[in-house]
Amino acid sequence: MRLFFAIWPPAPVALSLARLADTLAQRFGGRATRRETIHLTLAFLGDVEEEQLPAVLDVAREVTAKSFEMTFDRLGFWRHNRLIWAGGASVPPELQTLVVALRERLLAASLPCDASQSFVPHLTLVRKVGDSHPVLPQLSSMNWACDRFVLVRSQLGAGGAGYAIVAEFPLA
C-alpha cells in the first residue's frame, strides 16, 4: 500500500482553498485539487507491505510533537513539476520538528521514507499547470490550528489519487 503522513486542513479552509484552486485552474490550465484531497504532506513512505503497517503506526505514536498554528499567506509555482501551491512565509518550528522526528524514526525503524528533498510545507492547489509563467494573485492570509496529523493511504487513479485516512495522531 502507498502511504504518507500529512496534515489535513479543517473543512472551511479546504473549501476556500478548493474554490481558489478551481479559479486558478481555469485561469492557468491544469487540474485543481478537490476539496476532500487538499493536504500538507509531512513524510512520504511510498510502497509499504501490509505487515509493516503496525510498525508505521508505532512510529507515529512515538512521535511527540506540539500543536501549532499554520499560516498560509502566499501562492507559489514550481516549474519542474508544474504545480501551484499555497504556503507560508515562515515554517512553524513545531512543524519542522514534527517532520524531522517522523523522517528520522521511519528510517531508524527501517521503514521507507523519501527524505531526498528538503521540507517545504505546501498545499498543492493545481497540478499540470498549462501556463509556464502564471502570474499568481495575492493570497489573503488564512490560519488554522494544527492539533493532529494523519496517516494516509493513496490509491492512484486516472482522475488523480484517492486518499483514505488510516489513522489520526494528536499533537500535544
Three-state SS annotation for 69-102: EEEECEEEEECCCCEEEEECCCCCHHHHHHHHHH
Residue among 5, 8, 28, 44 that touches ligand ATP (CB under 6 A): 44
With CB under 6 A as the contact rule, which of the stretches 15-23, 47-55, 90-98, 153-161 interacts with ligand ATP?
A: 153-161
Minimum Å distance from CB 77 to ligand ATP?
15
Nearer to ligand ATP, 12 or 46 (CB): 46
- Give the residue, chosen from 11, 120, 145, 161, that forms a contact with ligand ATP under the rule CB under 6 A: 161
Which single residue is written with the C-alpha cell 499533537? 171
Least Å from the CB of residue 159 to ligand ATP: 9
| Dist CA 78 CA 137 (whole Å) | 15
SS3 label, residue 116: coil
Nearest residue (CB) to ligand ATP, 66 versus 100: 100
Nearer to ligand ATP, 54 or 157 (CB): 157
The residue within the footprint of ligand ATP, chosen from 89, 108, 135, 156 (CB under 6 A), is: 156
DSSP 18: H
* Structural element, H or E, at residue 43: strand 40-47
List helix spans (H) across the chain. 11-28, 53-62, 93-108
> Count of CB atoms within 10 A of residue 154's CB?
18
Answer yes or no whether residue 154 interacts with ligand ATP by CB under 6 A.
Answer: yes
Bridge-based pairing state of the strands 2-7 and 148-155: antiparallel
Query: Measuring CA to CA, which residue among 45, 42, 154 is closest to residue 109?
Result: 45
CB of 129 vs ligand ATP, minimal distance in Å: 13
**Is 93 one of the binding residues for ligand ATP (CB under 6 A)?**
no
Give min distance, CB of 9 to ligand ATP, in A. Answer: 13
Count the residues of the shown chain that bind ligand ATP, applying the rule CB under 6 A. 10
**Binding-site ranges for ligand ATP (CB under 6 A):** 2, 4, 41, 44, 114, 127, 154, 156, 160-161
